[in-house]
């Protein structure tokens, strides 16, 4: 059985309130959280959020390079766009922006696209970086091969 803390925001306070919990926290839902902090609904943060993904080799099996990275990158468009009214209703985004299209990314790297509870698709942008790294390496190999071919033709 979970412990619950209820607070009131209607009574004025003169001091900041601090809350320290040594277990898991769920905000906006009625289930026991599976992770340290589970927030259902919008979150507005006024300063930086720092997060790290564990990337140690000891945590990974079946390691292999991403194949055909350039081919995959070419299937994804980097786009400029303006957020529409629906976006302000669900995530408070406004104005001109740049990004990717989740449906296009999903065809290439389905593991980086998540479907939110409201059915809207979202991209874990940080997980696109490995694809870009491998695409740059493929391009560099092509550039070096072409440079060597040009050199050999010039030497003739």
Neighbouring CB atoms inside 10 A of 108's CB total 19
Q: CA–CA separation, 73 vs 105, rounded Å? A: 9
CATH code of the domain in which 32 resides: 1.10.10
Residues 55 and 43: beta-carbon distance below 8 Å: no
Structural domain count of the chain: 1
Reported as a single tens digit per residue, the pLDDT across 98-127 is: 999 999 999 999 999 999 888 999 999 999
Residue 108 lies in a domain: yes
The per-residue pLDDT for range 53-70, each reduced to its tens digit, is 788 999 999 999 999 999
* Domain hosting residue 82, numbered range: 25-53+66-155
Model pTM?
A: 0.71
Q: What is the 3-state secondary structure (H, E, C) of 126-156?
A: HHHHHHHHHHHHHHHHHHHHHHHHHHHHHHC
């Amino acid at each position: 059985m979970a412990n619950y803390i209820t607070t009131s925001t209607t009574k004025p306070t003169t001091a900041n309130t601090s809350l320290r919990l040594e277990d898991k926290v769920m905000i906006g839902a009625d289930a026991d959280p599976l992770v340290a902090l589970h927030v259902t609904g919008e979150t507005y943060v006024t300063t930086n959020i720092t997060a790290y993904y564990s990337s140690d080799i000891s945590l990974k099996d079946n390691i292999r390079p991403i194949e055909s990275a350039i081919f995959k990158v070419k299937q994804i468009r980097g786009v400029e766009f303006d957020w529409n009214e629906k976006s302000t209703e669900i995530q408070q985004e406004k104005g001109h922006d740049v990004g990717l299209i989740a449906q296009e990314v999903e065809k290439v790297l389905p593991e980086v696209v998540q479907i939110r509870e409201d059915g809207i698709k979202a991209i874990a942008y940080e997980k696109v970086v490995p694809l870009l790294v491998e695409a740059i390496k493929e391009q560099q190999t092509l550039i070096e091969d072409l440079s060597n071919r040009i050199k050999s033709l010039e030497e003739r």
